[in-house]
Structure 1
């Protein structure tokens, strides 16, 4: 976790006070200050007007799941306003600043209603939201009433609709797997173990195994993941289509551009392949983080 405090020159004293309190790096404001902070920081506190910060970070914003949390603090150190990433660290940072006598101004709907968002629930359970696109619908449902929470002990297989958030225990890697029709459990398990060994990744560091929903009947995949003590999810075509494979694939037989690489990427956090699709007989495996 890397924190940066940015302040206009005339507010440098206030900025350094905040930086000292947070144990953060201090950076004087410049045209490139926010761009540089976005490249290496997880949390940013800006001691200046909301307007300056809004204009500065607008071109840099990509996704609330990967962007730094941004909090604006007025020069008088009276108020802390989470501007971006409220559910991804900004609200918590604003509350932390209350230790300096700064009043947090929280505007996220779930918090204003005295409820926890799905992102916060995931964090509190040491997990992450796998299907990030579900968060809007789930948080809306939380506002409207109680949303059931199911805890499933693994080994397990989950097939859920788009409006159901899937929370998986934190692990660095996701493994995408495909296979020829009727591939046996031993063949799939052997392929998965070989892939993890080649990548020097312990099975315990895998958060989830993933494949296309069209493979939900493949007993070989189901049995192999169960033998590894993992969690297996099935992904819809439209989800996989967002991640074109880097390697050639025969997945056209099931109407897809690929299975192993798109599945690994779709289920991953950073969307980075650490092992491209590798073929083990009739089984394909890819690993992402």
Structure 2
């Protein structure tokens, strides 16, 4: 029935089949493009068994498509997917940002992702509440003439990874919070002075944006105990 409708795994609509006994949910098309997730949802709601066969998902490992979705980006060279997903089975594949103008030559096992939307860099005092972070984000977006829906990813310093308020705010916004190492942050040419220098960092919000975006559109600004910078 569906075969005549199938064209390309990167474009086809995900399809999940459920047997007549309501015992299994089987991703048939687009496992990495939402079918696996749909199968799990059906199983959690209907008590079925998810018959997931894609190697990365069945092994509990990430995949290129999942990373692209988490980073709200488009895969420019999907032919690299096979090599990347094979690598994910045995190792963590690093994500790197290259800023232009630049011409880049890549091998067949290098995936190129193009970000959609804004990168929000967030810095905060220890113990900051989620409400403070969300209020700061909304103020910064309003000043930039942007909306929450325009956000692609959130970025901060690795030392803020355990800040519950920031993690909760990221969940409310429905966006990935990327935690960058001090080496990455300190390699950026941030121009706005920061109290993060007391922690051995050139900054947090602005360097995080510089590391992950093409250009800075809103330099770091403090909103109470939270600092926000915006790039795209």
Q: CA RMSD in A?
A: 3.3
Gaps of at least 5 residues in structure 2 are: 1-63, 97-111
Partners of 1:169 and 1:230 lie apart in 2 by: 16
Change (3 A) 1:252 1:206: same
Distance 2:204 2:222 in 1: 12
Provide the residue aligned with 1:275 in structure 2: 218
Shift of 1:277: 0.4
1:177-216 matches, within 5 Å, as 177-216=122-161
Cα distance in 2 between the residues matched to 1:142 and 1:168: 15
| 1:128 Cα deviation after fit | 4.7
SS in structure 2 of the partner of residue 279 of structure 1: strand
Contact 2:180 2:208 in 1 (8 A): yes
- What residue ranges of structure 1 are gaps of 5+ in the alignment? 1-117, 130-138, 150-159
The structure having more radius of gyration, on CA atoms, is: 1
Following TM superposition, the consecutive aligned residue runs of length 4 or more in structure 1 with deviations greater than 6 angstroms are 166-169
> Structure 1 pair 126/285, CA: closer, same or farther in 2 (3 Å)?
closer
Distance 2:115 2:137 in 1: 20
**Aligned residue number for residue 95 of structure 2:** 165
Secondary structure of the residue aligned to 1:147 is helix
CA distance in structure 1 between the aligned counterparts of 2:195 and 2:174, rounded to whole angstroms: 28
Rate the CA distance shift 1:182–1:126 in 2: closer, same or farther, 3 A: closer
Return the offset for 1:142.
Answer: 2.5
Match of 2:210 in 1: 265
Total equivalences in the alignment: 146
TM-score (norm 1): 0.45
Structure-1 separation of matches of 2:198 and 2:72: 38
> What secondary structure does 2:128 align onto?
coil
Q: Which residue of 1 aligns with 2:83?
A: 142
